[in-house]
Amino acid sequence: MSIRTVSTRPFPDQKPGTSGLRKKVPVFQQPHYLENFVQAIFDSIAAPQGETLVLGGDGRYYNRTAIQIILKMAAANGFGKVLVGQGGILSTPAASCVIRKHKAFGGIILSASHNPGGPKEDFGIKFNSSNGGPATETVTEAIFAKSKSISSYRILDAADVALDRLGETTLGSMQVQVIDPVSDYAGLMESLFDFAAIRSLLKGGFKLKFDAMHAVNGPYASEIIEKRLGAAPGSVMNAVPLEDFGGGHPDPNLTYAHDLVEIMYGADAPDFGAASDGDGDRNMILGKRFFVTPSDSLALLAANASLVRGYAQGLAGVARSMPTSAAVDRVARALNIPCFETPTGWKFFGNLMDANKVTLCGEESFGTGSNHVREKDGLWAVLFWLNILAVRKQSVEAIVREHWAKYGRNFYSRYDYEGLPTEAANGVMQHLRDSFAVLTGKQFGKYAVQTCDDFSYTDPVDGSLSKGQGVRILFSDGSRIIFRLSGTGTEGATLRVYLEAFEADVSRHHLDAQEALKEFIQIALHISELQTRTGRDQPTVVT
């Protein structure tokens, strides 16, 4: 075995987004493309010789090939040990768990999250730091800077590592340990939740269905839900991870998790339904013919945290991304704990958790988590819900409606316009910014615009400033319309429109969100000139 130094040239398009570098598989398959970015990571993080690295991914196409390349590059760059998930599998929250438990220097996670997989579809790579969370903007900016000047990378000439067999092997002078991807994570879940109470719930005839969407959480849900908690065989559907996610789109929402939705809205629906995404960090929660919005889910977890063993001691605080509804804000006020509003991106929650300022956090994009790891965690949210249901012994719908009666309801919806021409999407955002002065004070039916801004955030821990995080149109009654360009796509631009209207009147809480927001949606389209500027009459996805 020998270390080779390979000459290379920079690629101009390796700027990490909110969740690392995401491109189509053929882009990553270009000679030197993946290697350049991995070397840029290693050069930027400057890990001392002999450190431990965690490595794994969501099992999508190109995952195994990339892992072999990264292992050989890690050996050539002085790492002493790599913990890699068996078969190359590690869910994103499990990777965070392993980094933290084994005190690794950091980890490389291979995932494009909820994006489709396959030979012509999406692939992604990101670095997580020693706290288990996504790299800070300082680190990702350093990686991008290095990628623009890179001239060579180092790689070990060696045979591939056997990824399907547990145990240790050597790669040059580096130790590679193939680990059970589920065990550390499952143990952590068992320490947080009352598995005995959940087992009792399931033995009492409570039925559930968990859709792993042929993605990474299949093995985790099968082990925890069916084996450890005793759910009936088949309670976990689409449980085998596939490189193309079975041809599906592994995004747990009402559009893409259609198999589960049909079951949960069918004649003989189970009591509880849930789904997770490609890399296991997102979740969707359903009751019997009843959908729980992610914003409501975060608020309900906070309001019921005292019922759950791992959180019974109380919450230090809560945090939500700016586009997420303000439902959790009112829970925080009732609990007399702080509530932080951050930009979209889990890394912003990491600082707050490391400083013990928050315990629970969440995003409207179906991501919820806590300080047990430094990533959002889909299966954790499902277990939290099951623990609450086991204690309260009510239906999902009854629990949500009681919550609305106490705190009021935030009617909420998100419209995604995917694959837009980048120029057209940017034009919508610039038009909105140019309209701030005209919009302020303007009346639209019963809604009066109080103020408009482009959201910025000063981190209360490290003082860093994040600008341009989304346009907010704020109304005098607390309602909001938000426009934001997403950083998770790989083609064109994704423009997201978030609509939120607060309703205190219990007699109106039964309304469908789309019906309740009907007037608001038209206001948003009028203000933004979205249809005219993009040529799109309908959104790609409505949640």
CATH number at residue 431: 3.30.310.50
Q: Of the listed 19, 91, 96, 113, which one is catalytic?
A: 113
Helix axes 327-335, 396-407, angle to 10 degrees: 70
Instruction: Count the domains in the chain.
Output: 3
Taking only the tens place, the pLDDT of each residue in 338-364 is 999 999 888 889 989 999 999 999 999
Q: Is this structure's pTM higher than 0.85?
A: yes
Distance from chain centroid for Cα 55: 18
Nearest to 436 by CA among 422, 421, 455: 455
Taking only the tens place, the pLDDT of each residue in 495-510 is 999 999 999 999 999 9
On whether both 156 and 189 belong to a single domain, the answer is no
Task: Give the per-residue pLDDT at 423.
Answer: 93
Task: Give the per-residue pLDDT at 18.
Answer: 74
Q: What CATH number is associated with residue 79?
A: 3.40.120.10
- Is 412's pLDDT higher than 60? yes
On whether both 381 and 246 belong to a single domain, the answer is yes
State which residues form the domain around 14: 2-181
On whether both 360 and 419 belong to a single domain, the answer is no
Is 235 among the residues known to form the active site?
Answer: no
Higher pLDDT, 490 or 54: 54
DSSP-derived secondary structure letter, 313: T
Task: Give the per-residue pLDDT at 488.
Answer: 53
Q: Which of 132, 153, 181 is the last residue of a domain?
A: 181
Pairing of strands 236-237, 208-211: parallel
On whether both 378 and 503 belong to a single domain, the answer is no
On whether both 464 and 356 belong to a single domain, the answer is no
Q: Which of 162, 181, 200 is the last residue of a domain?
A: 181
- Helix, strand, coil distribution of the chain in percent, nearest 5: 35, 25, 40
Whole-number Å distance between alpha carbons of 379 and 395: 19
Nearest to 473 by CA among 516, 421, 426, 525: 525
On whether both 26 and 131 belong to a single domain, the answer is yes
Q: Which of 181, 208, 230 is the last residue of a domain?
A: 181
On whether both 46 and 175 belong to a single domain, the answer is yes
On whether both 82 and 105 belong to a single domain, the answer is yes
On whether both 354 and 448 belong to a single domain, the answer is no
Percent of all residues in the chain with a pLDDT value above 90, rounded to a whole number: 91
Task: Give the per-residue pLDDT at 246.
Answer: 95
On whether both 174 and 192 belong to a single domain, the answer is no
Mean pLDDT of the chain: 95
Task: Give the per-residue pLDDT at 541.
Answer: 84
Q: Which range scores top for mean pLDDT: 134-143, 251-260, 315-324? A: 315-324
Please say whether the dihedral angle defined by the alpha carbons of residues 315, 316, 320 and 322, taken in this order, is positive or negative. positive
Whole-number Å distance between alpha carbons of 358 and 378: 19
